[in-house]
């Protein structure tokens, strides 16, 4: 688990989206419970380099929401709320990580249904983290 992913998961908890370890997970999408939010990291963009190599890091973050079989609308509303909660957040320290910016790469997208018929949605974010 990276620090950025954990910081964003904790921030989603403060926004009352759920509880880390119960309904919000980092770098995993457990089989249960049905309705979960998962925060994953990915390569993102190259870090910034300055004359003293202390530039910013730019990891990518993906938030994945899964709902219950009969709650496609609820899962869709949750991913839209997460998108609105995170997109455009700037100059903020989350769990000791200073984010100069968190910006959505696109609107939330439906990812279809999992093997159990549960709807899934995802949105990707670019971040700028002060090193």
Residue 11: CA count within 13 A, CB half-sphere: 23
Residue with tokens 């990707």: 124
The span from the CA of 6 to the CA of 8, in Å, is 5
pLDDT at 52: 66
The span from the CA of 80 to the CA of 72, in Å, is 12
Give the start-to-end residue ranges of the domains of the chain.
3-129
Indicate the pTM of the whole model. 0.91
Domain with residues 3-129, CATH architecture: 2-Layer Sandwich (3.30)
Percent residues over pLDDT 70 in the chain: 92
Q: How far is CA 10 from the centre of its chain?
A: 10
pLDDT at 63: 98
Q: Which residues of the chain have pLDDT under 70?
A: 1-2, 46, 49, 51-54
pLDDT at 1: 47
């Amino acid at each position: 688990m990276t620090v950025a992913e954990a910081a964003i998961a904790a921030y989603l908890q403060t926004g009352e989206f759920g509880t880390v370890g119960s309904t919000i997970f980092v770098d995993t999408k457990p089989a249960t419970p049905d309705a979960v939010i998962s925060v994953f990291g990915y390569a993102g963009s190259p870090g910034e380099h300055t004359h003293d190599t202390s530039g910013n890091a730019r990891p990518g973050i993906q938030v994945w929401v899964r709902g219950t079989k009969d709650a496609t609308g609820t899962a869709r509303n949750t991913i839209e709320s997460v998108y609105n909660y995170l997109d455009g957040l700037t100059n903020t320290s989350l769990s000791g990580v200073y984010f100069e910016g968190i910006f959505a790469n696109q609107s939330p997208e439906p990812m279809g249904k999992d093997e159990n018929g549960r709807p899934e949605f995802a949105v990707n974010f670019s971040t700028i983290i002060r090193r």
